[in-house]
A and B are shown apart, each in its own frame.
Chain A
């Protein structure tokens, strides 16, 4: 029996392809934030990290893939510039979110502050390292030599 429902060749034209990519992009971010919210919620209601290990690992792997591929291609972000101020703001938001969630769960503010501060430092360190890697790669891609066509002329 001939399988005629699958074509290896792309069945979409360029506009449909762009539209599909936009849909896939929105779906990806919905899934990414949804999974993060789910992990945070499960942590908030006291489910042990072992019970949500699968979600945690999947989220970590997807995020690592995203960061690695973006750096490899010399891309940082559509809207945010890779600056110290942006990294500080990111670290503050991350640390603040963890502090609030920890406080809501344990009602113990010193612990929440320590957890928030530690997360903030970790986020800041991770952002600084990735910005460094991005800048190095971006420079490398920007300074590649132009192809020489003299032999063809």
Chain B
């Protein structure tokens, strides 16, 4: 699975640390880190929570061309 650089960029745009995003969506920092590194494929519910926390759409963060 490739790295999710879009997620990392969106988080940086919001000036959020991995820990802050993790707290906002109710998961551990290691989970956010694994998603960004492409080591974990999140459920649709977690994807939606992340999108809401970062004011992005699913396409913005999780769609690959």
Do the two chains bind?
A: yes
> Which A residues lie at the B interface, using CB under 8 A?
13-16
Picked from B31, B42, B46, the residue with its CB within 8 Å of the CB of A16 is B31
What DSSP secondary structure best describes chain A's contact surface? helix
In whole angstroms, how far apart are the Cα atoms of A14 and B47 in the complex? Answer: 12
What DSSP secondary structure best describes chain B's contact surface? loop
Return chain A residues, CB-CB under 8 Å to B26. 13
In whole angstroms, how far apart are the Cα atoms of A16 and B30 in the complex? Answer: 9
3 nearest A-B residue pairs (beta carbon): A13-B27, A15-B31, A15-B40
Given contacts A13-B31, A15-B34, A15-B40, 4 further A-B contacts (CB under 8 A): A14-B31, A14-B43, A15-B30, A15-B42
In whole angstroms, how far apart are the Cα atoms of A105 and B31 in the complex? Answer: 52
In whole angstroms, how far apart are the Cα atoms of A14 and B28 in the complex? Answer: 9
In whole angstroms, how far apart are the Cα atoms of A13 and B34 in the complex? Answer: 13
Return chain B residues, CB-CB under 8 Å to A14. 27, 31, 42-43, 46
Can you give 8 contacting A-B residue pairs, CB < 8 Å? A13-B27, A13-B28, A14-B31, A14-B42, A14-B43, A15-B28, A15-B42, A16-B31
Return chain A residues, CB-CB under 8 Å to B43. 14
Task: Please give me the residue from chain B that is nearest to A16 by CB atom.
Answer: B28
